[in-house]
Amino acid sequence: MGMTMIDKILARASGLDEVQVGQTVAVDVDMAVLIDLQFTTNWVEPLKINDPDKVAVVLDHAVPAPSAEDAVCGQRARAFVGKFGVDRFYDIGRHGICHQVIAENGLALPGQVLACTDSHTCAAGAYNTAARGLGIAEVYSVMCTGKTWFTVAPTIRYELVGEKPEHVSGKDVFLHLAGTYGDATNHNLEYGGPGLGSLPMNDRRTIATQGAEISADFSTFGVDDRCRAALAAVTDRPLVPADPDPDATYTEVRTIDLSALVPYVARPGTVSHNSLPITEIENRRVDQCFIGSCANGQLDDLRIAAEILRGRRVADGVRLIVTPASQAVYRDAMRLGYLQEIADAGGVVTNSTCGACFGYHMGVVGPGEVCLTASTRNFKGRMGSTEAEIYMSSPATVAASAVTGVITDPRKVLA
Amino acid sequence: MSGIVEGRVWIVGDSVNTDAMYPAFALKMPYAEAAQHVFHQLRPGWTDEVRPGDIVVAGHNFGIGSSRPVSKLFTELGVAALIAEEFNSLFYRNCINYGLPALTVPGVATAFHDGEIARLDITEGVVENRTTGARFDVPALPAMLLDILDAGGLMPRLARDGYLPA
């Protein structure tokens, strides 16, 4: 029986010729990524680990440390990498949101298995990696033993056709899928088809990242020339893509015509069956606009924001906060002038961190406030007060809305 | 392990997310302190009412969201098991990996009311409502997962196997 991308990767990682839906298999993990949240008060220093070359440590959720407790996490992380000789350590200055750091350093390769303590680890599916967010105990176990287990889920295939229009982004593609089809709990998502070539890598990363928001297990893309070029810039290791068999078994195949898509907005609470074309939701007043996170703090996201903000001003009474996904993105965006344009328009550019997206620091919202965010989640209470409303959209829509003070179709501002 | 748990149930709805159970502000607290904030926005005061041995019964897509170890907070509160119509798989993994029995049982959410008594056999895949007599049979957990539960979760198993201080 034919296998999907994820079936192929799990079979290879478990040393089996094939795997079946429902089967629980023990797999070898190629890379375990630990973040600062791993080193909280509940951290126990291990006596031995499997292989320091298969471990990376990235400080991202609370950096630079906003409290003494957070500072201790950094101390524990530094002691750990020193003791075990972990070379892949991304401390303040080389840091960034782990999924961006993973991409920049080629830590996720086609056909491999990647484990990390953050739920948006599925981001690396853009590179055809079986990447999963796992709990703290499980990442601990992977680091120590090199192995974990997966139960093979059924796969939904998205067959992409047509060309993505200008001013429509990966976030809009995802919000369209979430609004139309809802949750994919306990299913894998697979993206491919003739339209894939019109999706830049940043859009694939956004879509793969957001698989967690519809409760999917893995979300993976096929490998094409664009993907190969992106990987060639960060690694010279051989690539072993997992291409699906022509007769692979899918629980459903959904065809998406990219050329028909428009900007989308998710209303507060969830993205599932709660995302609408922007034409149905315009003119909602906003207090804060946020561009950042692992989903939309990439260099292209900042470029799009800068292009919209150039020569314009953030509306009175509105806060625009922009958080680059990594220090490398920050430096590139500074060199290219994007940060200057954002700041000149009245936006605030922060250091790279998960900060506002998970409601911890640098952009938390208060009761009664309305936030339009290009981050990962719109759960109640996600970005601070449980009495705030979190709408979600693309960086273009967020930037356009910051200028007008109400939720605005970016195509109108750019027209 | 015997795999049998019997206790009083609490019912929660569909798509209860991990932010609702483990808010960001509790992330840097020791587990015992963080446990006082479970369901902080969904059911304020619940942590004062729940008793050791209780069971939580949920609807669809239980635990969507972050990798926050909510199951560790449940065990701190003495919750003995979780049953749901459907679990988010990351959340489900966290349950098993922290040694908290969890069973997927379609139809279960409407078969219980708060305060009724559930009996759960994790190795056989059976759930009974001792109050009404309703019974559900589901596939038993794979041996690989029962082994983790048997060890009390991954951290005790890593200690047993010499990876962590005993």
CA distance A353 to A304: 20
Query: Could you tell me if residue B137 is inside a domain?
Result: yes
CATH 3.40.50.300, domain A5-235+249-259, yes or no: no
Q: Which of A138, A189, A217 to mutate to test the interface with B (most CBs of B within 10 A)?
A: A138
**CATH code for the domain in which residue B104 is found:** 3.20.19.10
Q: What is the pLDDT of residue B162?
A: 97
Query: Could you tell me if residue B166 is inside a domain?
Result: no
Q: Residue-wise pLDDT tens for chain A (415 aa)?
A: 799 999 999 999 999 999 999 999 999 999 999 999 999 988 999 999 999 999 999 999 999 999 999 999 999 999 999 999 999 999 999 999 999 999 999 999 999 999 999 999 999 999 999 999 999 999 999 999 999 999 999 999 999 999 999 999 999 999 999 999 999 999 999 999 999 999 999 999 999 999 999 999 999 999 999 999 999 999 999 999 999 999 999 999 999 999 999 999 999 999 999 999 999 999 999 999 999 999 999 999 999 999 999 999 999 999 999 999 999 999 999 999 999 999 999 999 999 999 999 999 999 999 999 999 999 999 999 999 999 999 999 999 999 999 999 999 999 988 7
| β-strand partners of A226 | none
Query: Could you tell me if residue B35 is inside a domain?
Result: yes
Q: What is the CA radius of gyration of chain A?
A: 20
Of A24, A46, A212, the CB nearest to B145: A24
Report percent pLDDT > 90 for chain B: 89
Tokens linked to B150: 């048997």
Could you tell me which of A220, A232, A244 has the C-alpha nearest to residue A124? A220
Which chain B residues have any C-beta within 8 angstroms of a chain A C-beta?
Answer: 15, 17-20, 23-25, 27-31, 41, 60-61, 64-67, 69, 71-72, 86-90, 93-94, 97-98, 142, 144-145, 153-155, 157-158, 161-165
Query: Could you tell me if residue B100 is inside a domain?
Result: yes
CA distance A94 to A352: 10
List alpha helices for chain B, DSSP H.
18-21, 31-34, 46-49, 70-77, 89-97, 143-150, 154-160
Q: What is the pLDDT of residue A108?
A: 98
Q: What is the pLDDT of residue B72?
A: 94
Q: What is the spatial order of strands in the sheet that B126-129 belongs to?
A: B102-104, B81-84, B55-58, B4-11, B117-121, B126-129, B135-137
Q: Which of A34, A38, A120, A136 to mutate to test the interface with B (most CBs of B within 10 A)?
A: A136
pTM for the structure as a whole: 0.97
A70 and B15: CB-CB below 8 Å?
no
Q: Which CATH architecture has domain A264-414?
A: 2-Layer Sandwich (3.30)
Q: What is the pLDDT of residue A1?
A: 78
The CA distance from A246 to the nearest CA of chain B, in Å, is 28
Domains A5-235+249-259 and A264-414 share a fold: yes
Q: Is A249 helix (H, G, I), strand (E, B) or coil?
A: coil
Closest chain B residue to the Cα of A68, Cα to Cα? B28
Tokens linked to A212: 């967690």
Query: Residue B104: which domain range?
Result: 4-160
- Identify the segments of chain B with pLDDT beneath 50: none
Reported ipTM:
0.94
Residue A307 and residue A333 in contact, taking contact as beta carbons nearer than 8 Å = no
For residue B97, list chain A residues with Cβ-Cβ distance below 8 A: 135, 137-138, 141
The CA distance from A259 to the nearest CA of chain B, in Å, is 31
For chain A, give every domain's residue range. 5-235+249-259, 264-414
User: What φ, ψ does residue A380 adopt, rounded to 5°?
Assistant: -60, 130
Written in H, E and C, the secondary structure of A55-71 is EEEECCCCCCCCCHHHH
CA distance A115 to A130: 9
Q: What is the pLDDT of residue B1?
A: 58
B97 and A42: CB-CB below 8 Å?
no
A40 and B27: CB-CB below 8 Å?
yes
Give the amino acid at A29: V
Query: Could you tell me if residue B165 is inside a domain?
Result: no
CA distance A202 to A100: 10
A144 and B163: CB-CB below 8 Å?
yes
Closest chain A residue to the Cα of B139, Cα to Cα? A22
Q: What is the pLDDT of residues B126-157, one digit of tens each?
A: 999 999 999 999 998 999 999 999 999 999 99
CA distance B158 to A391: 42
**Cis peptide before A110, with omega less than 30 degrees from 0?**
no
